[in-house]
Amino acid sequence: MPISAQLFRDAMANLAAAVTVVTTDGPAGKNGLTASAVCSVSDTPPMILVCINHASQANQAIKTNGKACINICNIDQEDICRHFAGMTDLSMDTRFQLDCWDTGHLDMPVLRGAIANLEGRVIDFKEVATHTVFFIELEDIQVTEGQPALTYFARAFKSLTA
């Protein structure tokens, strides 16, 4: 008997994950989304993967722009995560007008105060079921010490403290 999508989502809700805001800019314009399906791939060269639903506007924007910034969020950045998760009424343009953005090494929106900002170029992507798995080779990393991570667990934002 096949596993239902709902049962799978219920199980994955119990897998705590760091919360990120993935951003891009380029020929397709500025775009972004909140994502927790982010994983390291390699440290030589530094590479991560990000899984993004085909239905997300950011999916095509990242494909077209060929680059992305993964902003690992701290506990004080829940509001921005809610905006980029589509939990508020803010348009994409308005989200990027908020006073929390800098321009990074690759001319992408970089979230000020994030635990880390990981900027890189898409070197490959694979279409897998409902998502695209993007492989991003990192070209610049900024790390900010001192803030606990924001996590997503049991369908809610949570604080992760040491």
pLDDT digits (tens, 9 = 90+) for 80-114: 999 999 999 999 999 999 999 999 999 999 999 99
Residues 11, 62 contacting (CB under 8 angstroms) = no
Residue 113 gets which letter from DSSP? T
Domains along the chain with CATH numbers: 16-154 (2.30.110.10)
d(CA 44, CA 25): 26
**pLDDT above 90: residue 32:** yes
What does the block give as tokens for 93?
């343009």
pTM value is 0.93
Q: Which of 155, 159, 162, 150 is nearest to 71 (CA)?
A: 150
**pLDDT above 70: residue 150:** yes
Phi, psi of 59 (to 5 degrees): -55, -55
